[in-house]
Homo-oligomer: A and B are copies of this chain.
Amino acid sequence: MIIPVEGLPEVTLAFNLGKAIAGNVQLTDGDIVAVSQKVVSKSEGRVVRLDETDPGNDAVALAARTDKDPRLVQHILNESRSLIRVDEERGILITETHHGFICANAGIDQSNTTGPDEAILLPLDPDGSARRIRVELETASGVKAAVVVTDSFGRAWRHGQTEIAIGCAGIDPLDDWRGQGDQRGRELTATVIATADQVAAASDLVRSKTDGVPAIVVRGLDRHVTEDDGPGCAVQLRDSGDDLFR
């Protein structure tokens, strides 16, 4: 069952997301709470003002090549460890963030901001954010739910974005079946299921982009919820040497 959490107020700095979520939905053991990156970032002050941004030479040059706002490009460069692709014609910048995510514009988002000249950065440590919200949920409700921090990313080769997990706590993001048998006992050699990403995608199905539901409870997946916080989404990132597409 996938339950949107209605009625959350506007999120501001130091807002207790877990408490607000627990106050608006009856949580139960084994729940997974998917929280949109945007409200997590807002609660952590990861919001910048473009009208207070002074872009440097590199940002100005790259902005001219891609026909983007140099102030936004400055923040993209600040948030990135490397440029992966620059598509001048379509104005696309794909970068690797300091966390290791590969996505457009370092994941910086200008939709659904509070002010007109604002942009929202990814959380500094999305796994840490998930752990923090997990504690907040438990403190407010007594329930030790799992938490997945989600964001919509584009993909290579396929049009359209899917919601993926950028941080998690209380759920192993990868369900590793390698070495186990299939229905006929044949060994599965390559099966690692990206459970947290699939939870993120499922959560996105119950909202529209305009209705602003930033938290969703995915219920009935108790078998994926762990006592420990677990390794977080950092383990999902391929090392550059292990990655055929950068």
Which A residues fall within an 8 A CB radius of B?
1-2, 85, 87, 92, 94, 101-102, 104, 110-113, 152, 155-164, 173-175, 177, 180-184, 186, 188, 190-195, 197-199, 201-202, 204-206, 209-210, 212, 218, 220-221, 235-238, 243-246
Report whether B246 and A157 are in contact in the complex, using a CB–CB cutoff of 8 Å: yes
A186–B182 Cα distance when bound, in Å, is: 49
Q: A180-B210, A183-B212, A193-B152 are in contact. Are A236 and B174 (CB under 8 A)?
A: no
Q: Chain B's nearest CB lies how many Å from the CB of A66?
A: 13
Q: Which residue of B lies closest to A87 (CB)?
A: B244
In the complex, are the beta carbons of B204 and A205 less than 8 A apart?
no
Hey, which chain B residues are within 8 Å of A198, CB to CB? 162-163, 201-202, 204-205
Given the known interface contacts A1-B1, A209-B182, the answer about A158 and B112 at a Cβ–Cβ threshold of 8 Å is no
B-side contacts of A180, CB under 8 Å: 209-210
The answer to whether A156 and B193 have CB atoms under 8 Å apart is no
The answer to whether B182 touches A237, judged by C-beta atoms less than 8 angstroms apart, is no
Is the pair B160, A192 in contact by a Cβ cutoff of 8 Å? yes
Q: How far is the CB of A89 from chain B (nearest CB, A)?
A: 10
List B contacts of A191 (CB < 8 A): 111, 152, 161, 209
Task: Tell me the bound Cα distance from A218 to B206 in angstroms.
Answer: 12
Q: Name 11 interchain pairs, CB-CB below 8 A, sorted by A.
A: A92-B244, A104-B190, A110-B186, A113-B184, A157-B246, A158-B194, A159-B174, A160-B236, A162-B198, A188-B209, A206-B220
Neighbour of A204 across the interface among B110, B186, B192, B193, CB < 8 A: B193
The residue of chain B having its C-beta at the shortest distance from the C-beta of A94 within the complex is B244
List of B residues within 8 angstroms of A174 by Cβ: 159-160
Task: Indicate whether A156 sits within 8 Å of B102 (C-beta atoms), given known contacts A111-B182, A112-B182.
Answer: yes
Q: Which of B2, B162, B197, B235 contacts A194 (CB 8 A)?
A: B162
Q: How far is the CA of A238 from the CA of B161 in the complex (A)?
A: 13
